[in-house]
Structure 1
Amino acid sequence: MISSFLSSFDIFTPSEIAAFEEKTVLRSIKKGSFLIQEGQLCKEVAFLKTGILRSFFSPESGEEITYCITFPNTLTTAYSSFITGLPTLENIQAVSAAELVVIQKADLDQLSQSSLNWTRFLKMIAEQQYLELEKRLFLFQKEKAKKRYMDLLENQPVYVQQIPLQYLASYLGITPRHLSRLRREVVL
C-alpha cells in the first residue's frame, strides 16, 4: 500500500521505494489513543493504512477544536513540530482503530541525502499540504456549512459516517445540533 502511494508520484525507482520500506515500522493504535500530544516533539511521519485520525487543539476555553481529519492512504504528522523541531501545539488522535506505517525524521533526512527524489517528494507533499490548507480556508470563508458538509460527503462518504458528531461538527465549524439538522436535510 505504501509502495503504491510512493509509486503514484512517478519519481522513485523501485530500489528507492524498497529503501524507504526498510526504514518503516508498522504501528497500530486503538480508538482514542494518540499518535502525538500537545507539548511533544514530532520526529516521525505516518502513512495511514486503515482507520481515521483527527488533529485538534484546545484553546484556553478548554473546548477541543478539530481542524483536520485524516483518512486512509494519506500521510500525517504534526507538521509544524516536524519542520521546526519545537513542541507541537496539536494532538493527533485515533477516531477509530488505526494501522500506520511510520518512518522517523532522521531516516527521511538520510533518504534525502541519498537521492534528490526524496527532496522532490517532500517538496510535493509540502505543496499539497499548503493547497489543502488554502482550500479549507477558502471553504470556511466562502461557503456555507451545508456546502462544506456536502464536499466532505462527496469525497469521503464511507468514513464520514464513522466520525463522532462532535468531532465532525467541530471540523465543519458548526454546532452538533446544526450538523444534526444538516444530516436530516441530506439524504444519502
Structure 2
Amino acid sequence: MIATYFRSIGLFEEEEINQIVDLFEYKKLNKNDFFIKENQRCHEVALIQSGIFRSFYSSVNKEDITYCFRFPNTWIAAYSSFITGGPSVENMQAITPVELWVIRKNIINKLASNNLKWMTYLKMIAEEQYLELEKRVFQLQKETASQRYANLIKDHPAFIQQLPLHYLASYLGITQRHLSRIRNQISF
C-alpha cells in the first residue's frame, strides 16, 4: 500500500520508493483505541490502510466534539503537536478496527534534510491540510447541516454507514434527533 501511494504522487523514483517503504511500521488498532490523546505529544504520522478514525476535543462543558473523520488512504497525525512538539489539543480514536503504516517524526526530519523531494512532498501535505481545514471552516459557516451531510455521503459513500450516529451528529453540529430528520429526507 505504501509503495502504491508514493507511486501515485509521481514525485519519487522506484528506488526511492523502495527505501521509503522500509521506513514505515505496520500497526493495527482495535475499535476505540487511540492514535493520540489530548496532552500527549505527537511524534509520528500514519497513512490509514483500512478503518476510520474520528478526531475530537472536549468542550468547556466536558462534551466530546467530533470535528473530523479520517478514512483509508489519508494521513493522520495531531499536526499542531507534530509540528511544534507541544502537547496535542485533540484526540484521535479508531471507530472501527484500523490498519496503519506509521513513520516517526525523526525519520521524516532526516529525510527532509537530505532530500529536496521530501521538502516538496511535505509542502504538498501541508497545503492539503490547509485546504481541508479551510473547507471545513467554510462548511460550518456557509452550509446547512443537510448540505454537510449530503457532501459527506457524496465524498465517502462506502463509509457513511460505519459512522456512529452520535459522532456524526456532533460532526455536523446538530442533535441526533435533527440528524434523524435529515437522514429521512436524504436517501443513499
TM-score w.r.t. length of structure 2: 0.98
Query: Quick check: 1:20–1:111 contact (8 Å CA) kept in 2?
Result: no
* Deviates most, 81-90 or 1-10: 1-10
Report the Cα offset of residue 44 of structure 1.
Answer: 0.2
Q: How many angstroms does 1:97 deviate by?
A: 0.3
Per the alignment, residue 123 of structure 2 pairs with 123
Distance, in Å, in 1 between the alignment partners of 2:168 and 2:116 is 39
Number of residue pairs the alignment of both structures matches: 188
The Cα shift of 1:113 comes to: 2.0
Q: Counterpart in 1 of 2:173? A: 173
Partner of 2:91: 91
Runs of 4+ deviating beyond 2 Å:
none
Deviation at 1:158, TM superposition (A): 1.4
> C-alpha separation between the residues in 1 aligned to 2:17 and 2:68?
28
Alpha-carbon offset, residue 14 of structure 1: 1.3
The corresponding residue for 2:41 is: 41
Question: CA RMSD for the aligned pairs?
Answer: 0.8
**In 2, Cα distance between the equivalents of 1:5 and 1:139?**
28
Deviations 1:123-160, CA, capped at 9 Å, x for gaps: 00000000011111111111111110000000101101
1:52-131 equivalences under 5 Å are: 52-131=52-131
Residue type at the aligned position of 1:102: V
Tell me, which stretches of 5 or more residues in structure 2 are unaligned?
A: none
For the residues of structure 1 that align with 2:187 and 2:10, how far apart are their CA atoms?
39
Unaligned runs of 5+ in 1: none
